[in-house]
Amino acid sequence: MCGIIGYFGKEEALPILVNGLEALEYRGYDSAGVAVFLEGEVKVKKSVGKVEILKKSLKNNFCSGSHLGIGHTRWATHGIPNKSNAHPHSDCQGRIFVVHNGIIENYKELKSYLQKQGHNFKSETDTEVVPHLIENFLNSGKDFDIALFDTLRMIKGAYALVIIDKENPKILYAARLSSPLVIGVGKNENFLASDPSALIGKTKNVVYLNDGEIAKISQNDINIINLKKKKTPYEIVHLGWDLEQAQKGDFPHFMLKEIFEGPEVVRAAFRGRIKSKENLVKLGGLEKVADQLKEVKRLLILACGTSYYAGLVGEYLFEEISRLPTETHFASEFRYRDEPFDKNTAVIAISQSGETADTLAAIQKAKKHGLMTLGIVNTVGSTVARETDAGVYNHAGPEIGVASTKAFLSQLTVLIMMAVYLSKNKNSSKKLLEELEKIPKKIEIILAQSAKLEKLAEKYKNYKNFLFLGRRYNYPVALEGALKLKEISYIHAEGYGAGEMKHGPIAMITENFPTMAIIPQNSVSEKMISNLEEIKARKGPIFAITTEENKEISSLTKDIFYIPKTIEPLEPLLTIVPLQLFAYYIGTKKGFDVDKPRNLAKSVTVE
């Protein structure tokens, strides 16, 4: 959940480290630090708070001329945010400097053992045991490589580690287990990062470290070995993202920019993959398992957060279009279930980053039971993409805002295409594919009315609670809309299937408890009307998102936002957009940093 950057090359290290940390700010963090090698010494600077605070402390040509360094943004797990707990961490002698993402589960036992050996600790973190362990093995006469191997064998948990050894100043060491780490390949320079976004503008060629691999990186060379000390081959992946895609442009926030990218995101997801006139969906990432997919009788969708809500929409899609029984599970809970599995069950794992720890653990469980695993991810070469048997990329480009918006749209689009791809009755999907091609234009119509949503956000911004209601395909949209409002504005919001309202939530309805009703004209809109009548009878304010054909709504509320009409399975692609904008405008009007909500991280790489 933290951010790592490392550099060894021809240029000044410090500006590259700081720029990399700034690029990683969206992941969420509470402190930052750097360590750079210069003239036989390693200099360290740490700060609490934003990277900007760290930058200000680096004035007066701090370590000018250094070409080797590491940097880190920390999201607290062990110990409060302060300078002592900020990374990098070092050993007693100040020889070894470490930055770390992940959690070392047995750090207490290791720390107790090391303290008995005479090691003094300066922080409350789990990370600090790493440099002290390495030092302990060095003290016993082992060379650095062996000391690092032995240290990694003692550690239990998850880690992405980048290490400087003052006695080996021409090498950056890196190791990975269940926490992402990527090598950026340059000319006369190499990089390390926890996320490819930190490398945009520097290189588009990357190598993804696999679990159990250790890298020794020099200015012109990369050597990767595994924990059995065997050299492992690696593949250089070319990133399709560019610097312009990762910048805000004329938008005040990444979140707003990414919402407005929605039309192109949907186009990018289906471009070259559908031929509506031929009633055809072509998903190249699934071709190698096409024969196996014909035998699938049941689907399990595994995901977390926003991706989970996309999966709930997928559940409806696969059952209605593919005629496959489907269940959607929180990946974090699935791994602890003890259920029987049929060999004809396939798993679909959804993760925007492709590095979500709980989702990866759930994939490993599925594979142990012999289930086929498919991935829906946005990041090429990510761990989910590599660990699954096959999958489909979103092609959404970099999403910098912590609260996912455009990735959700791309996930829905991919799920729609997969549902058609898996359908045995292809002829029934022609209308759906034709309508899918029209969706980007309809999202543009919604975005053109954003001023109306901003005005309504002004009216509703001071409420303390919200109820989001939807039915069928829009039930997961209600959940996701409530999540967006919570993430961005810190307003308490709950999403419910509207049929459940009478089973408890209606007790909360008062004139100070508004309801966000997602009620396009469809097969369940009459049922929704009945729910809203009950809310109105209790003087609950109602904000409705509906289609222009739905005239009954005007008798229940004046706060209405109209969206274009589409067929029911595609409605979430339209109904979610005004909810994203509504959350954005309330968050900004309340003065919050909507790109970096408090306590949240973009890529959740710890369990």
Catalytic positions, written as ranges: 2, 602
SS (H, E, C) 439-483: HHHHHHHHHCCHHHHHHHHHHHCCCCEEEEEECCCHHHHHHHHHH
Please state, in angstroms and rounded to a whole number, the distance separating the CA atoms of residues 43 and 37. 6
Distance CA 294, CA 308 (A): 25
Half-sphere exposure of 303 (CA within 13 A, CB side): 28
Question: What DSSP assignment string belongs to 273-325?
Answer: TEEGGGTEE--GGGGGGHHHHTT--EEEEEE-HHHHHHHHHHHHHIIIII---
Grouping H, G, I as helix, E, B as strand and the rest as coil, residue 558 is coil
Nearest to 69 by CA among 110, 17, 119: 17
CB atoms inside a 10 Å sphere around CB 211: 17
Cα 586 from chain centroid (whole Å) = 23
* CA atoms of 607 and 602, how far apart (whole Å): 14
The whole-angstrom separation of Cα 551 and Cα 543 is 14
Radius of gyration, alpha carbons of the chain? 25
Separation CA 251–CA 256 (nearest Å):
7
Burial environment of residue 503 by CB neighbours within 10 A (0 to 12, 13 to 18, 19 or more): exposed
Query: How many whole angstroms separate alpha carbon 447 and alpha carbon 453?
Result: 10
Distance CA 401, CA 447 (A): 18
> In this structure, are residues 332 and 607 in contact, taking their beta carbons and an 8 Å threshold?
yes
Angle formed at CA 183 by CA 179 and CA 186, multiple of 5 degrees: 165
How far apart are the C-alpha atoms of 328 and 472, rounded to whole Å? Answer: 15
User: How far, in whole angstroms, is CA 305 from its chain's centroid?
Assistant: 9
61: left (phi over 0), alpha (psi -120 to 50) or beta: left
Cis peptide bond upstream of 131, omega within 30: no
CA angle 537, 540, 543 (to 5 degrees): 115
CA proximity to 543, closest of 582, 508, 580, 571: 582
Distance CA 25, CA 398 (A): 14
Rounded distance between C-alpha atoms, residue 433 and residue 576, angstroms: 20
